[in-house]
Amino acid sequence: MSNDSDGDPTVPPGPADVEDLPTVSCERCGREWDLAYELEEVAVGNQAFEQFALDHQRHTGHFPDGISTWRADCRQCPEAIQRLDERAARRWAETHARHTGHAVEVDHADQESTTIERSE
């Protein structure tokens, strides 16, 4: 009768301690934030930064440092948006052009702008 209770439970590796929280600073606000809240609430590493930037813009009207956005700016009406994602900005421009027939300019910090018009 072998009582072989080999106690070696394989412990799955838990989430590593996050010592180095990513931080974001904003010159306009003169502040710096860590992304603990976003990481906890959004729980997606890369998107925490984007989420913070979008929230910051929504609540303060500007983006924090180091964020370069894609802007889609209608030439014929006051509609304009800013997105971190190029595809999102272009999709907005294309949809706006499609529904209104307006020409929309899409540009990015380090890129020349392109104009999106409704294609008939």
Query: Where does this chain bind Zn ion (CB under 5 A)?
Result: 26, 28-29, 60, 74, 76-77, 79, 100, 102
Q: Which is nearer to Zn ion, 102 or 108 (CB)?
A: 102
**Helix locations, 11-117, DSSP H:** 36-41, 45-60, 86-100
CB 68 within 8 A of CB 59: no
18 or 95: whose CB is closer to Zn ion?
95
44 or 80, CB closer to Zn ion?
80
Taking the complex as a whole, how short is the minimal distance between the CB of residue 117 and Zn ion, in angstroms? 11
Residue carrying the six token digits 């929280």: 21
Q: How far is the CB of 13 from Zn ion (least distance, A)?
A: 37
Instruction: Give the amino acid at 68.
Output: S
Identify which of residues 7 and 78 has a Cβ nearer to Zn ion in the complex.
78
What is the smallest separation between the CB atom of 110 and Zn ion, expressed in angstroms? 21
Closest contact distance (angstroms) between CB of 113 and Zn ion is 16
Q: How far apart are CA 48 and CA 44, in angstroms?
A: 6
**Rounded alpha-carbon distances, angstroms, from residue 95 to 79, 92, 100, 101:** 12, 5, 8, 9
